[in-house]
């Protein structure tokens, strides 16, 4: 079976802290796989907000998710302190990837607990069609 492999970028555009809640745990007593995607969603919204955008207003277009991939590295438990780093990659005419590294504070060091990628596609909800990534957004995301 082939495994997903997401490379950790050397530079991130945004970081945000997060504390694991009891409600994030699954029957195994650790953070469930669905929660990691929820953490990415939270970080994405905050990242876009830091750039002056939202998922529905990205320089005149909106965003939809085209794909997602997650690579789990460490078990995450209740009350663990996390930091989620976000950056852009693979910017095209109509889409871009967001790369997330969810770091866990462990042994006085930040260690990757999950590496994720979401493929974001620009979308026009009025026409229900894919739209071009605005140039101003491309410039900000390429910094």
Q: Which CATH superfamily is domain 14-141 in?
A: Hotdog Thioesterase (3.10.129.10)
81-89/95-106 β-pairing: antiparallel
To the nearest 5 percent, what fractions of the chain are helix, strand and coil? 20, 40, 40
Stretches where the chain sits below pLDDT 50 are none
Instruction: Identify the residue whose tokens are 């620009």.
Output: 122
What is the structure's pLDDT at 95? 98
What is the structure's pLDDT at 1? 80
What is the structure's pLDDT at 50? 98
H or E stretch covering 81: strand 81-89
DSSP state letters, 5-44: --PPPS--SEEEEEE--GGGB-TTSSB-HHHHHHHHHHHH
Q: How far apart are CA 95 and CA 4, in angstroms?
A: 21
Domain assignments of the chain as residue spans, ordered by start? 14-141
Angle at 93 (CA atoms; ends 11, 47), nearest 5 degrees: 40
What is the structure's pLDDT at 73? 97
Strand partners for 110 = 105
CA distances in angstroms from 35 to 16, 22, 27, 137, listed in the order given = 16, 12, 13, 28
């Amino acid at each position: 079976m082939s495994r997903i492999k997401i490379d950790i970028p050397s530079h991130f555009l945004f970081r945000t802290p997060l504390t694991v809640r009891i409600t994030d745990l699954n029957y195994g007593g650790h953070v469930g796989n669905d929660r990691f995607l929820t953490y990415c969603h939270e970080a994405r919204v905050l990242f876009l907000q830091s750039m002056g955008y939202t998922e529905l207003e990205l320089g005149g277009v909106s965003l939809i998710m085209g794909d997602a991939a997650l690579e789990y590295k460490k078990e995450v438990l209740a009350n663990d302190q996390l930091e989620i780093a976000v950056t852009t990659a693979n910017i095209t005419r109509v889409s871009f990837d967001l790369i997330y590294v969810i770091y866990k504070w462990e042994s006085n060091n930040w260690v990757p607990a999950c590496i994720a990628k979401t493929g974001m596609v620009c979308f026009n909800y009025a026409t229900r069609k894919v739209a071009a990534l605005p140039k101003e957004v491309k410039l900000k995301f390429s910094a």
